[in-house]
Each structure stands twice: as structure tokens, then as C-alpha cells.
Amino acid sequence: MTIVTRFAPSPTGMLHIGGARTALFNALLAKRHKGTFLLRVEDTDKARSTEEAAQAILEGLGWLGLTPDEAPTFQSENAERHVECALEMIERGKAFKCYATPEELQARRDAGEAKRAEAKADGLSDDAKASLLAEANALLAPYRSPWRDGAAAPRTDAPFTVRLRAPDDGQITVNDGVQGEVSIQTREIDDLILLRADGTPTYMLAVVVDDHDMGVTHVLRGDDHFRNTYRQIPIYQAMEWELPEFAHVPLIHGQDGAKLSKRHGALSTLAYRDMGYLPEAMNAYLLRLGWSHGDQEIFSMDEATEVFDISGLNKAPARLDLEKLGDVNAHFMRAASHERLKALLLPEIAKLTDVTDALESRLDSALPTLKERGTTLLEMAEACRFLWDSNADNLNKKARKALSGDKLTILSDLREALDQSESLGIEAVEAIIDSYCAAHTLSMGQVGPPLRAALTGGLPAPDLAPVIAWLGRDEVLARIDRHLPA
Ligand code: GLU
């Protein structure tokens, strides 16, 4: 059997990270089995769906490299087919026209609520209370239409909805890849509306028809859809279609254990891009957020493709942990090739300063060391600041102290020594500083601070020798001269 999976977002907002994770799982499951990963945009709710949201979802998926194997489909384009299936279910005796009006349905609910309220009144006998509650429960129970057994229309031109005739009795069982086997009583299911009074198909019908028509073999989605499965299975059965495998993954929770919401931080996938996370880090992090394989923490997409399986999906909700995401991102920034990391970093640096050729060549020398710094591209760009900024106008107390009194003599001596050296490579600079310390019986703790303060003004930076080597002679001398008397 060729595996076909799908991601079926509703274009009513951004691609949030929960959706991205669902897409990732589906893409990996298909890849693992050399199957097909499809994307279906569920845009049937015209009032809430927007073209921009659909674009944002595609952009988010594109950023993560989760592009589907075929062009995306749009659910609204299949409406005719949905209607056709509903009519076929009528033919098969599995669905029927229901003439109950919205007003009648509302009146039924209101009557149920009224009975329930009546049952709470003081002074009722237990029997009276029980019988009122029984009436209330019958009125509030999942709706079984009086037309389900083929009663005639009230008038020939009466408007109708098309409803699925809910299974009469017994249980509906979902055999879920994550949740296991879970059943409910069929009486918990109403006669589900398939076509509204205006003839438009409902979401529940559209999902099943599309999944079937697209040949979807595995429906892997968030467990907010778990209960829908009980309503979707009878549609498959009515059409005599084979059921797909279902797997419902628990939603992502915040650090506090509550379901993820905006207050837990930025949730749009693209916001993470803008915060300076790498797509491969995002994938690796989202993968482990709800799935595990042994105790391996970090997977490349290739590694994940080798081993991803439904049995590794966790039953318990995972908690979003931004610190861990930072660690994973740091890992992938270190692992990225120089060219790629530089290409990702330069736009971030360009937000802080003009990127000159000189700066770019400093970055070429420094990046192999500086890529160890920071957990996002933004932090890494900040860690590079000393490459273009001597911070001379912004010295902190410690730097000011290091550039005062007789410490300036040390600075001036070192300037001369550096200026006279043919090479300012890392080793040459180390040798200059060491021999200066030895000749003046000074320690590195005495010699280093004025030089560091002049060069980087208290900004975080690695060892002095590499800093000098990366900045280059002209820049080093210019930075020192700013602090020496003319
Ligand atoms: N369109 C639904 C959503 O965005 C998903 C439906 C499904 O996966 O079956 O929540």
C-alpha cells in the first residue's frame, strides 16, 4: 500500500507551530514510506478564510521545507462533489431530507432548558424531578430527526437539510494510532447535517469526501479533531469507503501546562523565522515535541525520515520549552556551513549596521568562532557587534578605568609593538603580548584590560589575539588611537 498523508489547514490565520508540527509529522510519515504528502486548504468557511492566510500558511510551510508532493488543493473547489456524495447517501438510504426548521430546533433546545430549570424548583418530589429531567435530557440529546425513517415532506416546497442517518445502536469505535481504541455509544451522535438548507456541504462531509478522493491512507492531526472522527466514520461507512488509519496527536501546551495560546509567546511559525531560528532547528524541535525515538534529542530531516513512525508519537501533551528550542537552534547554527550561516546572518547584521566589504571579510574570519555564540541569529549578530563597533562612545565603568592613568602607557607601548610587527596573525599577536608581559614583568591581567577596552569598549568578544587578527591592522590602530593623547 502506498501511504498518502495530508495536512489540511483552514486559512483563517497564520500557520501556528501546532499546525507546522502536524504538517511535519505528515510529511515525515509519507517520506518514510516513500508515499505522498498532500496539502489541502480547507477554505469552505468563506466568512473566516482569507487569501492572505492561505499565502501565509504556504510561506510558513515553504520556510520549513514542508512543501507538498503535489500542488495544493482547495476544498471549496470540490463543493459539487461533496453535494453529489450527499445525494448518493440519500439514494443508498443512509441519508435523508430533514425538514426541521432552525426555529423548531431552537424551540426544542429551549424546551429542554426549560424542563431542566423546572426540575430545579423547590418542593418537587423525587419522582417529579426525575421525570422532568428525563424529559429535559430527551429534548437536549443529540438530535434524531423525525424524518430519518422516510416520513413525507410537510409541503412540496419545504426547505430541507440533508442529514446522515446516525447508526441506530451500538458503539462507534476509533482505532487511533496514538490514543488506542476508544468507543462511544451511537446515541451520543446526532443525525449529522451533510448539506445545509442552502445546499452547501458541511465541513464534516467535505473532510471525509476529500480525504477519500485524495486517497488519504493516514489521517494524522491534532486531537482537537478526535471527537469529529466519531462523526466522520459513519460517513465512510455510509459510502462503503475504507477507513483511513487515524492518529490524533495531543496539542502543544505552554510551560504552565495550559493549552498553547498567544500569551505563551509568538506562535506563528514565521515569527520564529523572524526571531532568528533556523528552519531545520524548528523542525528538529517540533519533531521531538510530541514524538520520540530512543533517547536521541536532535534529528536532521534525513535521520527523522529514516525512523519516523506513529508508534513514537506521545500520548501526553508536550510543553513548549523555548530554552530547549534555543539549544537546538544553537546546535544547527554551529552545524551550518560557513556560507549558509553567513547568508542567514548578514541580513540580521544589516539591521544593525552598514555591511561593508571590510566588515564582511572580518566576519569571514570571525564566524567560525562566533558561531558558538547566541541561541538565535539575532543574538549571534549582536555577538558580532565588536566587529564594526568599538563602543568608544559608550564605555562602561570598567572600560573607562582600564583606559585611565598609567594604563595608557601600556596601551601606547602595545600599539607600537603591534604596528611594528609584520604579521598580525593570531600567533604573532599572542607572541607580541607575551613578550611585552615578560619584558615588563606584567601579567596578562594587567596588560589585557586596556587593550580590550580600547578595541571593544566592553562589548562581549573572544580572546584578544583573534579579535586583533580579525579586525586587521588599520582598524586596530585606529581604535587604539581614539584613546591615546594625540
Ligand atoms: N481544517 C482543520 C483544521 O485546520 C483540520 C481538519 C483535519 O485535519 O481533518 O483544524
Full 3-state SS string of 401-449: HHCCCCHHHHHHHHHHHHHHCCCCCHHHHHHHHHHHHHHCCCCHHHHHH
DSSP string, 207-247: HHHHHHHTT--EEEEEGGGHHHHHHHHHHHHHHTPPPPEEE
Phi, psi dihedral angles at 319 (to 5 degrees): -105, 135
Residue 268: C-alpha distances to residues 11, 218, 256 (Å): 13, 26, 19
264 C-beta neighbours (distance < 10 Å), count: 17
| Residue nearest (by alpha carbon) to ligand 1 atom 6 | 8
User: What's the confidence (pLDDT) of residue 234?
Assistant: 97
Phi, psi dihedral angles at 408 (to 5 degrees): -70, -25
Instruction: Flag whether pLDDT at 139 surpasses 90.
Output: yes
Average pLDDT score over residue span 169-177? 95
pLDDT band for 263, please (50, 70, 90 cuts).
confident
Average pLDDT score over residue span 175-186? 97
Between the CA of 229 and the centroid of ligand 1 the distance, in Å, is 11
User: What's the confidence (pLDDT) of residue 265?
Assistant: 65
DSSP β-ladder status, 161-164 and 95-98:
antiparallel
Between the CA of 234 and the centroid of ligand 1 the distance, in Å, is 18
Report which secondary-structure segment, H or E, holds 29. helix 17-32
pTM over 0.85: yes
Instruction: Flag whether pLDDT at 91 surpasses 90.
Output: yes
Residue indicated by cell numbers 549558509: 340
% of the chain surpassing 90 pLDDT: 94
- In short, whether 221's Cβ falls inside 6 Å of ligand 1 is yes
Instruction: Flag whether pLDDT at 110 surpasses 70.
Output: yes
- Pocket-testing residue among 6, 7, 10, 212, ligand 1, by greatest number of atoms within 8 A of Cβ: 10
pLDDT band for 262, please (50, 70, 90 cuts).
confident
| Alpha-carbon Rg for the chain in angstroms | 33
Say which range, 67-71, 124-128, 219-223, 294-298, has the weakest mean pLDDT.
124-128
Ligand 1 atom with least separation from CA of 211: 9
User: What's the confidence (pLDDT) of residue 486?
Assistant: 81
- Pocket-testing residue among 76, 202, 208, 221, ligand 1, by greatest number of atoms within 8 A of Cβ: 221
Joined together, the cell numbers standing for residue 152 give 413525507
Average pLDDT score over residue span 321-349? 97
Residue indicated by cell numbers 521531538: 288
Between the CA of 361 and the centroid of ligand 1 the distance, in Å, is 49
Joined together, the cell numbers standing for residue 122 give 423547590
User: What's the confidence (pLDDT) of residue 243?
Assistant: 98
Instruction: Flag whether pLDDT at 260 surpasses 90.
Output: no
Residue 414: C-alpha distances to residues 223, 351, 455 (Å): 66, 34, 12
- In short, whether 8's Cβ falls inside 6 Å of ligand 1 is yes
HSE-CB for 160 with a 13 A CA cutoff: 22
- In short, whether 42's Cβ falls inside 6 Å of ligand 1 is yes
**How far is Cα 39 from Cα 8, in angstroms, rounded to an integer?**
6
> Strands across the sheet with 95-98, in order?
95-98, 161-164, 193-195
Report CA torsion sign: 206, 208, 212, 217. positive
User: What's the confidence (pLDDT) of residue 261?
Assistant: 78
Query: One-letter amino acid identity for 477?
Result: L
Instruction: Flag whether pLDDT at 258 surpasses 90.
Output: no
Instruction: Flag whether pLDDT at 414 surpasses 70.
Output: yes
**How far is Cα 30 from Cα 468, in angstroms, rounded to an integer?**
51
Between the CA of 78 and the centroid of ligand 1 the distance, in Å, is 16
| C-beta of residue 217 within 8 angstroms of C-beta of residue 26 | no
- In short, whether 9's Cβ falls inside 6 Å of ligand 1 is yes
Residue 247: C-alpha distances to residues 138, 140, 173, 219, 252 (Å): 33, 31, 13, 6, 15
276 C-beta neighbours (distance < 10 Å), count: 21
Between the CA of 5 and the centroid of ligand 1 the distance, in Å, is 13
**Reduced DSSP (H G I as helix, E B as strand, rest coil) percent helix, strand, coil of the chain, to 5:** 55, 10, 35
Instruction: Flag whether pLDDT at 42 surpasses 80.
Output: yes
- Pocket-testing residue among 42, 78, 204, 229, ligand 1, by greatest number of atoms within 8 A of Cβ: 42
| C-beta of residue 297 within 8 angstroms of C-beta of residue 353 | no
- CA-wise closest residue to 408 among 344, 341, 460, 485: 485
Ligand 1 atom with least separation from CA of 42: 1
Ligand 1 atom with least separation from CA of 12: 4
Ligand 1 atom with least separation from CA of 221: 8
| C-beta of residue 380 within 8 angstroms of C-beta of residue 333 | yes
User: What's the confidence (pLDDT) of residue 58?
Assistant: 97
- In short, whether 207's Cβ falls inside 6 Å of ligand 1 is yes
Between the CA of 225 and the centroid of ligand 1 the distance, in Å, is 7
By annotation, the residues acting in catalysis are 262
Which contacts of 434-439 are long-range, i.e. CB under 8 A and separated by 24 or more positions? Answer: none
> Strands across the sheet with 36-41, in order?
73-74, 36-41, 4-7, 218-222, 245-249, 171-176, 180-185
Residue indicated by cell numbers 607600537: 416
- In short, whether 10's Cβ falls inside 6 Å of ligand 1 is yes
Ligand 1 atom with least separation from CA of 7: 8
Say which range, 203-207, 233-237, 252-256, has the weakest mean pLDDT.
252-256
